[in-house]
C-alpha cells in the first residue's frame, strides 16, 4: 500500500507558510508616547513644587493701599479624603484708585525653620453666601476708593509641615484704573 503523509515542515501542499517576524513598530510607538507623557507630567509637577517653595515675589506698588482684615480659616474634607483650606476675610481699598484685579501670594509658614509654602492665586470676592458661597474675580465688581468686600481663597494639598496658623496674604499684582 502507500505511505502515510508525513507532517514534516519540508514543504508540501498542506504545510503552513513560514511565519515572518516583523518589528512591532506600533507597540513601540505607543510605549514611547506613553513614556514621553509620563516624563512631561513628572517634570511639570516637580517644577511646580520647586517654584512653590521659595518663589516669594515683591509686593505690588499699590499693596499698602489694600488692607486684609477679619481673616479666618475654614477646613473641609471631601468624600475622597481630600482636604481643602479656605481663608476668608475682608479686603478694603484705602487708596485713591479703583482696584480691578489682585493676585496674591499666600505664605503657609512652619515651625521647623524651612521655607514657607507659597501659593499664588487671584483674589476672589464673595458674591453670595446663600444657598452656598459663590465667588467672583475682582474684575467683576471692582473695589472703588474706600470700598470693602468679603473674599475667599481656596487651597488644596497644603504641605504637612505647615504650622496650621493663619497664613500671610501678600498682594503681588494689583490692577487699577
> Hey, where are the domains in the chain?
23-54, 63-176
Q: Cα(156)–Cα(74) distance, rounded to whole angstroms?
A: 12
Q: Please say if the pLDDT value at position 87 is more than 90.
A: yes
Position 6 pLDDT exceeds 70: no
Question: In the sheet that 99-108 helps form, which strands lie side by side, from edge to edge?
Answer: 117-122, 99-108, 168-176
Residue 36 vs residue 156, higher pLDDT: 156
* 113-157 tens-digit pLDDT: 777 789 999 999 998 888 888 899 999 999 999 999 999 999 988
Q: Which region among 19-33, 65-79, 102-116 has the lowest average model confidence (pLDDT)?
A: 19-33
Q: In the predicted model, what is the mean pLDDT of residues 50-73? A: 83
Lowest mean pLDDT among 15-19, 109-113, 169-173: 15-19
User: Taking residues 72-87, what's their average pLDDT?
Assistant: 85
Burial annotation 139-173 (CB, 10 A radius, 16+ → b, else e): eeebbeeeeebbbbbbbeebeeebeeeebbbbbeb
Residue whose grid cell is 458661597: 133
**Over 60: is that where the pLDDT of 82 sits?**
yes
**Cα(124)–Cα(119) distance, integer angstroms:** 14
pLDDT confidence of residue 30: 84
SS3 state of residue 3: coil
Choose which CATH entry (1.10.287, 1.25.40, 3.30.1340, 2.60.40) describes domain 63-176: 2.60.40
Burial 112-123 (b: 16+ CB within 10 A, else e): eeeebbbbbeeb
Amino acid at each position: 500500500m502507500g505511505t502515510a503523509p508525513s507532517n514534516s515542515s519540508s514543504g508540501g501542499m498542506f504545510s503552513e507558510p513560514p511565519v515572518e517576524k516583523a518589528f512591532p513598530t506600533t507597540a513601540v510607538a505607543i510605549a514611547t508616547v506613553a513614556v514621553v507623557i509620563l516624563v512631561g507630567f513628572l517634570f511639570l509637577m516637580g517644577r511646580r513644587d520647586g517654584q512653590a517653595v521659595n518663589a516669594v515675589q515683591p509686593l505690588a506698588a499699590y499693596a499698602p493701599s489694600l488692607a486684609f482684615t477679619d481673616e479666618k480659616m475654614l477646613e473641609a474634607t471631601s468624600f475622597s479624603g481630600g482636604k481643602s483650606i479656605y481663608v476668608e476675610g475682608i479686603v478694603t481699598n484705602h487708596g485713591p484708585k479703583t482696584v480691578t484685579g489682585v493676585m496674591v501670594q499666600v505664605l503657609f509658614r512652619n515651625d521647623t525653620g524651612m521655607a514657607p509654602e507659597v501659593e499664588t492665586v487671584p483674589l476672589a470676592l464673595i458674591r453670595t453666601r446663600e444657598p452656598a458661597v459663590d465667588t467672583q474675580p475682582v474684575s467683576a465688581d471692582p473695589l472703588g476708593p474706600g470700598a470693602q468686600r468679603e473674599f475667599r481663597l481656596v487651597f488644596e494639598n497644603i504641605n504637612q509641615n505647615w504650622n496650621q496658623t493663619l497664613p500671610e496674604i501678600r498682594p503681588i499684582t494689583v490692577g487699577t484704573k
